[in-house]
Amino acid sequence: MEASQALLLRLLDPSTRADPYPIYAEIRAHGPLQLPDMNLVVFSSAEHCDEVLRHPSSASDRTKSTAAQRRYAELAEQFPQDSSDAEPPSFLFLDPPDHTRLRRLVSKAFAPKVVRALEPEVESLVDGLLDAAEAKGSMDLVADLAYPLPVAVICRLLGVPVSDEPEFGRASAILAQALDPVFTFTGQAPASFDQMMAAGVWLREYLRDLIAKRRADPGDDLMSALISVEESGDQLTEPEIVSTCNLLLIAGHETTVNLIANAALAMLRAPEQWKALATDTSRAPAVVEETLRYDPPVQLVSRIAEDDMMVGGVEVPKGDVMALLIAAANHDPAAVERPDSFDPDRPSIRHLGFGKGPHFCLGAPLARLEGTVALSKLTSRFPTARLAAEPAYKANLTLRGLAALSVAFE
């Protein structure tokens, strides 16, 4: 148990963020990590992660975990109060039938035609950002392209004023850290727990105010659509709209930023790939898919055993958390040839970057669109770009991504 936890603590260490893949390889070689005292099992192979994601007894509702129930009981003793007004979790952390209902309603407002209609605006946004970078003669690819593009798109999609972005962007970045499995791996709350709670309260209040404005003056945005969406007499409640928009804002901020920046870095470190895409922009979708495998924006997810389970010969008791190291699974040599090579030309690019099963990423089409447009235009505009400095990483483990990526070009 101590050796297993030591591996997990190394993953949490921000100093390993630039290259966690050797640690993932160690964990994968070890096989499933079982920590019964922590009600935790860690899976890292492609086969096991795939099995858990598809397993009918895999739950996403974190309140079903033994550790969470124990923690809630402790808090109830310390702070006895009525929690009936608490916000519901986003459908990312719900199970059927609630998950099925919410996802169906949200999907109606997140239809493919909505994404397709955004393509001209995405292209215009990218062109404007690259014009500004070209005028400077260099760029921080994160600050000048990978970050502002998804922010502008998610603002447009949800109807959030771009002028408010600095405030909700700050809150979103703090809440993204809350997805790191600090409590799961250590049994202790993260040092920034109070800051995360405050950011969550601020963002919920901000969204409630915005929903009130959209009720009074609906637009052609997703938030207005979520307010009006209805199927068989069923509508989203205001708390459900708040939690859903909360999820979409964080996902729209963080994951696509990581996708674009990680793809650019991989190609800058393999200049032949950068030049190949600059010459043939039809390669962009393959570059996006290989990035989702090679350096995924979401590195791990968790599930709860709703019943006693058997995964790969490992017994998982009901209530145990199953941490799935997606980034390790995507580099599993049993599933991928030359897994540590960035190769968009592989015959078949298989990955778990968007998950699998009922929680497959709802925003996958939008992320693919933004990544394809941004990377094809970036390489075409600057075919001789090169790294100007070593990249800097954010502290996040789950939503691992770059904080800065300096690029020089002719």
Q: What is the pLDDT of residues 177-190, one digit of tens each?
A: 888 888 888 888 88
Q: Per the structure block, which two tokens stand in for 130? A: 């690259």
For residue 320, which of 70, 6, 83, 140 has the smallest C-alpha distance? 70
Domain boundaries, the chain: 2-408
Instruction: With a cut of 70, say whether residue 308 has pLDDT above it.
Output: yes
Segment 363-377 shows an average pLDDT of 94
C-alpha torsion 255→352→31→61, nearest 10: 70
Q: Is the pLDDT of residue 84 over 50?
A: no
Distances (CA, A) of 329 to 27, 32, 48, 280, 302: 10, 12, 8, 30, 14
Q: What is the mean pLDDT of residues 347-374?
A: 91
- Is pLDDT of 119 > 80? yes
The pLDDT-based confidence of 372 (bands split at 50, 70, 90) is very high
Report percent pLDDT > 90 for the chain.
Answer: 59
- Token pair 């109060």 is found at 81
- By CB atoms closer than 10 A (0-12, 13-18, 19+), residue 166 is exposed
Q: What is the DSSP letter of 283?
A: G
* Number of other CB atoms surrounding residue 48 within 10 Å: 24
Q: What is the DSSP string of 68-130?
A: HHHHHHHHHHHS----TTPPPPPGGG--TTHHHHHHHHHHHHS-HHHHHHHHHHHHHHHHHHH
Average pLDDT in the 182-202 region? 87
Flag whether pLDDT at 251 surpasses 80.
Answer: no
Largest separation between any pair of C-alpha atoms in the chain = 64
231 bridge partner residues: 234
Q: How far apart are CA 69 and CA 89, in angstroms?
A: 16
**Residue 83, pLDDT score:** 47
pLDDT at 184: 85
* 199 or 251: which leads in pLDDT: 199
Query: Fold for domain 2-408?
Result: Cytochrome p450 (1.10.630)
